[in-house]
Structure 1
């Protein structure tokens, strides 16, 4: 389980997160919703140790992630697919996957499992990442993160700019990971897409935690979407 306990963080003197508490259980998809600038991506970066905390603690089970340097957080079992993917563009698909495997010394069986989830990548192992379509690049970013054998997977806008067939393929993988017990924290602006896969939804407003509710309850009361996400 991933747990944020009264976390405050920001950029220099600019505080973005204010006493944010949040938890994602094993085998659960929790979606983080909020307006632009609410602190969603900042939350992801804070979890990964890419931002120093001003206060609070981030836990993975009984282990404090906030006590680790940033390069140790993936080794602890946290996979991260940032907005914009951040692949090694000049490296091949196979080389990008190899970098993911190295982080936790994963074996070839993990690579095979990942390619089974993303069969499209198997046919493109020798291609450079920059030659892939946008959807294929997103698949590669997710596949690289899964090479860590993560207990927790952070996904920041994974369907942004993708065609419906690619969105459907990524959604299938996310739900398969949930079935395997992976905790998934998902930032997504497409509310309708979120409600199809999420178990719970947590709202962020001005860097502070808002309502947390089941996706089923949100489908029954869309007013909260307008309150926290509407313009």
Structure 2
């Protein structure tokens, strides 16, 4: 279980998250929904140790990880695909994947398994990341995170700016990882995309929990989403 226990975090003295709590179970997709500036990306960074907590704790199976440096968080099996991808653009596809393997000491067997999910990347192993299309870069960012064999996977706006075929490819991989028992925390602005994959949805506003609901309830009553997001 990935657990955020009443965490507060921010930038400098500006507090963005206020006692935010949520849990992600293995084999579950929990989506964060909220307006721009609600604190979704800040939540991801706080989990990954990229922002120090002002209060609260992040735990994996009861073990506190929020006191660890960011590279140690990855060693605990937390994969992160940030908004904007953050690839090593001058390096090749193969070299970017190698960095993913190094993060947790996994081997080429893991890489081969990841490439089964992304056959297009196998054809481009010697190609520099900056020459890939936007969709291929998103595939590479996802594949690199999967190279650590994550127990939990954090995805921040993975479909932003992608064409429909690429969106579907990413969606299929997310569902495969859920079926393999990976817990997934997903930030996504496209409501229809959220409802197509989520098991539960957590609404946040101004860095605070509003409500967490089963996705099935939202599919049956779209007015709930409109109430929280104004869409």
- 2:128 paired with 1:108: no
What is the aligned partner in structure 2 of residue 54 from structure 1? 54
Match of 1:96 in 2: 96
Pair 1:44 & 2:44 matched: yes
1:8 aligned onto 2:3 = no
Please identify runs of 4+ aligned residues in structure 1 that moved more than 6 A.
none
Q: Deviations over 1:36-66 (max 9, x none)?
A: 0000000000000010100000001121111
Which residue of structure 2 aligns with residue 208 of structure 1? 208
In structure 2, list runs of 5 or more residues that go unmatched. Answer: none
Match of 2:138 in 1: 138
CA distance in 2 between partners of 1:192 and 1:32 (Å): 13
Note the C-alpha offset of 1:227.
Answer: 2.1
Map of 1:149 onto structure 2: 149
More off after superposition, 58-67 vs 123-132: 58-67
**Is the 2:32–2:204 contact (alpha carbons within 8 Å) kept by the matching residues of 1?**
yes
User: Within 2, Cα distance between the matches of 1:207 and 1:48?
Assistant: 17
> Does residue 27 of structure 2 align to residue 27 of structure 1?
yes
Partner deviation per Cα, 1:86-135 (whole Å, 9 max, x = no partner) = 00000000000000001111111100010001111000000000000000
Once the two structures are TM-superposed, the CA of residue 145 in structure 1 deviates from its matched residue by 0.2
Counterpart in 1 of 2:222?
222
Provide the residue aligned with 1:87 in structure 2: 87
User: How big is each residue's C-alpha offset from its partner over 1:133-167, in whole Å with a ceiling of 9 and x where there is no partner?
Assistant: 00000000000000000000000000000000000
SS for the counterpart of 1:143 is helix
Deviation at 1:220, TM superposition (A): 1.2
Q: How many Å separate the matches in 1 of 2:196 and 2:112?
A: 28
Q: Give the count of matched residue pairs.
A: 231
Give the match's secondary structure for 1:84: coil
**SS class of match (1:67):** coil
Listed as ranges, the matches of 1:119-138 within 5 Å are: 119-138=119-138
Q: State the Cα RMSD in Å.
A: 0.7
TM-score (normalised: structure 1): 0.99
How much does 1:203 deviate? 0.4
> Which sections of structure 1, spanning at least 5 residues, go unmatched?
none
TM-score computed with the length of structure 2 as normaliser: 0.99
The residue number in structure 2 matching 1:161 is 161
